[in-house]
Structure 1
Amino acid sequence: MSTSDDNEGLQYWVRWQVPVCALIIAAPAVVAVKFIKKLKAEPLDHTDFWTPCWKNLNPFWLLLYRAFAFVCMAWVLREVVAWTGAFSFYFYTQWTFALVMFYFALGTIVSVYGCLLSSKKPPPGKVKGPVKLKSQHAQEEIEQKVRFWGYVMQITYQTCAGAVMQTDIVFWCLLVPFLLGEQFHLTPLIGFLHSLNAIFLLLDTALNNLAFPWSGFAYFAVWSCVYVSFQWILHACCFTWWPYPFLELRTPWAPLWYFICTIFIHLVFTLNYAYDESNKCV
């Protein structure tokens, strides 16, 4: 769809809605970044990243589950990309789906390292002298790497939680009931794209031993603001079509839509944690 208004060029970006919406985009991102910097890192044992919360469950089963989830999501994403090409990543849903897939890929690798550490750990009293010191040093190095990537995995996990909630709730509660048949058709592939992310993440939550403080939604706020900024850059450079109607800046209602879809959602989660857990901040 192309009209004379679509080709306004620079004139599109000098309207009053642009600086107002830009402030609405930047505000939650700045607040979230400052909040993240002030957070006190929770001390976690490196085993928390790969051991299940169920004590009687072997970590190997968590490894298998994460690998299975990654393979399934990789197949779905491959089918979506084969169907629509690189244009697939024009949408927030595909961003979120790829992020969840990255979480399971990282989780699989960390689980592999964890299972290897567990299997190679010598029984107490069996190793003595220099060999024992060398073995401990090598194990500490591996544990440091596992701990670093485990924290990356945890941040990704916390970001995914908010993003998945937003995409799937909007899709199943708003788009499907009101726009199905008018603007899109529900196919099995689209259904998988908007359900497997939540299903796999919820099951992993039921199995894993990761902490989930409310502060994790601050990462979600930054993630969403990065996506909106990405859309603005694309629209300024080459695209004349917005993937979501509320991103359109031409309408006088744009600031209201941006406020509802960014600041309100993000601050509800972030400030809720700040109110209840402020004693954990430095």
Structure 2
Amino acid sequence: MKFQNVAGFTSLDYWLNWRVFLCAVWVITPMIVSLFVIWKCEDSSVKTQRRNGNDTGDSEHDDDNLCIDDAWRPSLKQIHPGWLLGFRILAFCFLLASNIVRLAFRGWRIYYYYTQWTFSLIAIYFGMGSLLSVYGCFQYKKQMRTRVTADQLGNDAENGIRLPLIKKENEKRKSSDSKTLRSCVHLFQIIFQMSAGAAVLTDSIYWTVIFPFLSLQDYEMSFMTVNLHTSNLVLLLCDTTLNRLRFPLFRFSYFILWTGSFVIFQWILHVFVSVGWPYPFLDLSMRMAPLWYLLVALLHLPSYGFYAIFVRIRQKLTT
């Protein structure tokens, strides 16, 4: 879609009317509620300590609290963390290359689009995931070495040989990990849940609303367009199948803030610059604009719900 200059968007008549007021209500009210939900729920739900007695995280009764190991351990304990690392590196390289190509051909204007915001966010997710998986592979190697040592020395306990304080050392390392990785793993989890809902929302709206409209105008589909509206969700679903991340529902609030931030960015941009809207349903001059804004806002529920169900099914199948 081309981004054309349009006169009239910066005039007061365009902004001071009942349509803009209603649209602002649909956008700002959910954002305020989301901030309240985060304030109430985030501190009590985020934990970075590993679950006692459940190193593999495959218990059916596991809660949705954040665990450091969840950032790098695969969903099945039979899978080596190196496989998840390899997939994340490949996905990150592919998404990064796609972003670089689009920037080279179209410049920074690609970030006028919510889809590009989400695409870049998913690239950041895989970049962080790759780093955490590298850390996890080192931790996994240490844990395997510790288990072998414990097995070798276990038989000597009957002979009166004092065993090393492995548990105490693990507790000390656990405390160190929590202090060092808390912020990084916390942010990683938030990006994961924001990306999940946003990817479903962007791809579903594009293929069900925007693409049929463009087809009527004989729009020529390019590889990069298909890539932009397909690969992000496919790669994220594959990673979700392999990873062990939880999906607490209260972080739906971050998804709302993500979309709301994009809309407010567009409003501020159009107040000062007369440019066309990146998506037709964002145009505030339409009499149906409040209905469109409300409809897109409501679409956040099934988008996030679909991914939450997908994660729950994965948890059931891997327990």
- Same fold (TM > 0.5): yes
1:142 Cα deviation from its structure 2 partner: 3.3
1:47 Cα deviation from its structure 2 partner: 1.2
Q: 1:153 aligns with which of 188, 192, 202?
A: 188
Instruction: Return 5+ residue gaps in structure 2 as ranges.
Output: 46-63, 154-162, 309-319
d(CA) in 1 for partners of 2:235 and 2:106? 24
Whether 1:88 aligns to 2:110 is yes
Question: Which one has a bigger Cα radius of gyration?
Answer: 2
Change (3 A) 1:4 1:73: closer
d(CA) in 2 for partners of 1:96 and 1:3? 26
TM-score (norm 2): 0.76
d(CA) in 1 for partners of 2:106 and 2:88? 27
| Residues 97 and 197, structure 1, Cα contact 8 Å, conserved in 2 | yes
| Residues 281 and 292, structure 2, Cα contact 8 Å, conserved in 1 | yes
Whether 1:38 aligns to 2:40 is yes
Q: Please, which moves more after superposition, 250-259 or 37-46?
A: 37-46
Residue 18 of structure 1 is matched in structure 2 by 20
Q: 1:176 aligns with which of 192, 202, 211?
A: 211
Q: State percent identity of aligned pairs.
A: 34
1:81 Cα deviation from its structure 2 partner: 1.1
Within a 5 Å distance, the mapping from 1:1-282 to structure 2 comes to 5-6=8-9, 9-39=11-41, 40-41=44-45, 42-121=64-143, 123=146, 137=172, 140-180=175-215, 182=217, 184-262=219-297, 264-266=298-300
d(CA) in 1 for partners of 2:199 and 2:217? 24
Q: CA RMSD in A?
A: 2.8
d(CA) in 2 for partners of 1:77 and 1:189? 10
d(CA) in 2 for partners of 1:227 and 1:28? 14
d(CA) in 2 for partners of 1:186 and 1:22? 34
- One-letter code aligned to 2:23: C
- One-letter code aligned to 1:265: L
| Residues 89 and 127, structure 2, Cα contact 8 Å, conserved in 1 | yes
Q: SS at the partner of 1:240?
A: coil
Q: How many residues align?
A: 270
Instruction: Return 5+ residue gaps in structure 1 as ranges.
Output: 274-282
d(CA) in 2 for partners of 1:269 and 1:31? 19
1:245 Cα deviation from its structure 2 partner: 1.1
1:128 Cα deviation from its structure 2 partner: 5.2
d(CA) in 2 for partners of 1:242 and 1:3? 9
Runs of 4+ in 1 over 4 A off after TM superposition: 1-4, 124-129, 131-139, 267-273
d(CA) in 2 for partners of 1:46 and 1:254? 44
